[in-house]
Each structure stands twice: as C-alpha cells, then as structure tokens.
Structure 1
Amino acid sequence: MDASVFFSPEGERGRARLNREQRAKALCRDCPVLTQCRAHALTIAEPFGVWGGLSEADRNSLLDPKQSGTC
C-alpha cells in the first residue's frame, strides 16, 4: 500500500485534499488496527496525516472542541 494517501503533499488544498482524505479514510474503515491507530494519534496529538480514520482537522476538533465551534 502506498502510504502517501495518508499524508498531504506540500501545497495540497481544497478538493484535492478532500478527495485524498476520503480515500485514506475508506482504507482505514477496514483496517484491523483502526482503534489502536486512532488512540495513538490522539494520545500524541499527531499533527500530520490521516490516522485511525481521522484527518488532521478531525483530530484537532476532538482535541480542542473550541476549534469546531462547540463548547
């Protein structure tokens, strides 16, 4: 498997980033270590890539609810 689908190339934005993240998340759905991968990324506040089916923005929202506009 090409791991590049899980990480944003420099300068990637908009639709290209969304499409890549959706492909990565689809791969994560069937992964036997999804839960452990997600827990690791959240525990260390991994700043880059899709881990455990969560993008950088997804993890930031979970780790800092103020960023998602909720209390």
Structure 2
Amino acid sequence: MDWELAACRDHDPELFFPVGTEGPGAEQLTAAKFICGTCPLQAACLRWALDTGQEAGVWGGTSEEDRRDMRRARLAGRSLGVSA
C-alpha cells in the first residue's frame, strides 16, 4: 500500500490521537474523521488497523470505540456461525 497517497500525510499526527472524547478531544476526533473521509486509502487503512489490532487513534475514519464495536460484532458473528 502506498501510504504517500494518504490524506493524513500532511497533517499533524497528534490530530489522529485525541485525548478524551469530550471538549477538545471530540473536536479533534471530528476533524480527524473528516480528513479520513477524503482519503483514497480509507478502506485499506481501516482494514490494516483491524488486522493489526490498533487500539489507539483514528484509523480509516474510525475511533478506538468504533473499532472495538466492530471487533465485538465480528466475534459475535463468528460465535453464531455467521461469516463476517
């Protein structure tokens, strides 16, 4: 994957690692997700974050909580015999 094409490459990396989910942290999260929404690598970035277990930061337009929910849903689907 050519990360040089990523929309985040010209932004401060700290933007993608907000501290907290309220106040300034919420504003950072919104800004980071907006940038991800413009990125041609958004889907690949999200896949990478899920495959490598990234627990911190915004990856592929998702927050830590978003990815936790995705992992839970994926595990629940497997336990029910549903392919995800």
- The TM-score normalised by the length of structure 1 is 0.79
Equivalent residue number for residue 42 of structure 2: 34
Question: Which of 21, 28, 39 is equivalent to 1:20?
Answer: 28
Q: Secondary structure at the match of 1:50?
A: coil
Asked if 1 retains the 8 angstrom alpha-carbon contact of 2:21 and 2:29, the reply is no
Equivalent residue number for residue 68 of structure 1: none
Equivalent residue number for residue 60 of structure 1: 68
Equivalent residue number for residue 6 of structure 1: 16
Deviation above 6 Å: which 4+ runs of structure 1?
Answer: none
Which amino acid letter does the alignment assign opposite residue 55 of structure 1?
S
User: How many pairs align?
Assistant: 63
Q: Which runs of 5+ in 1 are unaligned?
A: 66-71
CA–CA distance in structure 2, aligned partners of residues 30 and 13 of structure 1:
22
Q: Which runs of 5+ in 2 are unaligned?
A: 1-10, 74-84
The percent identity for this pair of structures is 32
- The TM-score normalised by the length of structure 2 is 0.68
1:2-51 CA-to-partner distances (Å, cap 9, x unmatched) read 11110124xx3422221111000000011111111000001112010000
Q: Quick one: higher RCO (CA 8 Å, sep 6+), 1 or 2?
A: 1
CA–CA distance in structure 1, aligned partners of residues 31 and 18 of structure 2:
12
